């Protein structure tokens, strides 16, 4: 199974202060490639390379990717990214818990002090300020945390969440891998 765990960070060219996926562009993206056991960062000019890898993967994992990340990435390709095999941890969590949770909150419940590096209010200014290393670090940490949650789901299907400061547990559906017929690994992915 060759899967990609990813996240993107965005900016609004018109500087709107609302969440509008049709308006947003990608500042940076991060990905974990299971078949390489490596994390890779991409800048906006290289997003086509990430999308090419996504098209070849057996599964794409993210947190809120179906509502946010993939619609933003969609403007960089003609491939319908929503038709690729996806596993959205947020949606799977919402199906069983009945509500949405922030990535940071699930990480606090599952990994104690291993949490996000900054808040949205801080990182959203990095693009304007040209703080590229900080932006990449923020994005890659989100990818790492999402990958940790995904591995926990793969291993036992259960994750914790906080409900009124009580730790509770839910069992999420395990992902369905659609194994694609790959030729030689090097030829298929490079």
pLDDT tens-digit series, residues 71-90 = 999 999 999 999 999 999 99
* Sheet strands (E) in the chain: 3-11, 25-33, 38-43, 59-62, 86-88, 158-163, 166-171
The answer, as to whether pTM is greater than 0.75, is yes
In terms of pLDDT, which residue wins out, 146 or 15?
A: 146
Which candidate, 149, 150, 143, places its Cα nearest to that of 9?
A: 143
Fold of 3-189: Nucleotidyltransferase; domain 5 (3.30.420)
Judge residue 162's burial from the number of C-beta atoms within 10 Å of its C-beta, 0-12 exposed, 13-18 middle, 19 or more buried.
middle
Confidence of residue 17 (pLDDT cuts 50, 70, 90): low
pLDDT tens-digit series, residues 92-111 = 999 999 999 999 889 989 99
pLDDT exceeds 50 at position 187: no
Per-domain residue ranges for the chain?
A: 3-189
Share above pLDDT 70 across residues of the chain, in percent, rounded to a whole number: 85
pLDDT tens-digit series, residues 158-184 = 999 988 878 999 999 988 877 766 544
């Amino acid at each position: 199974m060759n899967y990609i765990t990813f996240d993107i960070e965005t900016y609004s060219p018109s500087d709107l202060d609302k969440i509008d996926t049709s308006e947003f562009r990608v500042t940076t993206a991060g990905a974990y490639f299971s078949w390489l056991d490596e994390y890779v960062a991409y800048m906006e000019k290289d997003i086509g390379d990430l999308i090419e890898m996504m098209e070849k993967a057996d599964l794409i994992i993210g947190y809120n990717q179906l509502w946010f990340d993939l619609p933003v990435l969609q403007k960089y390709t003609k491939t319908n990214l929503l038709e690729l095999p996806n596993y959205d941890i947020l949606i799977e969590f919402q199906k069983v818990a009945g509500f949405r949770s922030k990535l940071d909150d699930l990480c606090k419940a599952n990994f104690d002090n291993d949490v996000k590096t900054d808040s949205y209010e801080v990182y959203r200014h990095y693009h304007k300020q040209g703080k590229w290393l900080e932006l990449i670090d923020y994005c890659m940490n989100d990818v790492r945390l999402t990958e940790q949650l995904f591995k926990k789901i793969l291993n036992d299907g259960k994750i914790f969440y906080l409900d009124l400061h009580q730790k509770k547990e839910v069992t999420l559906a395990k992902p369905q891998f659609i194994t694609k017929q790959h030729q030689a690994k090097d030829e298929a992915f490079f």
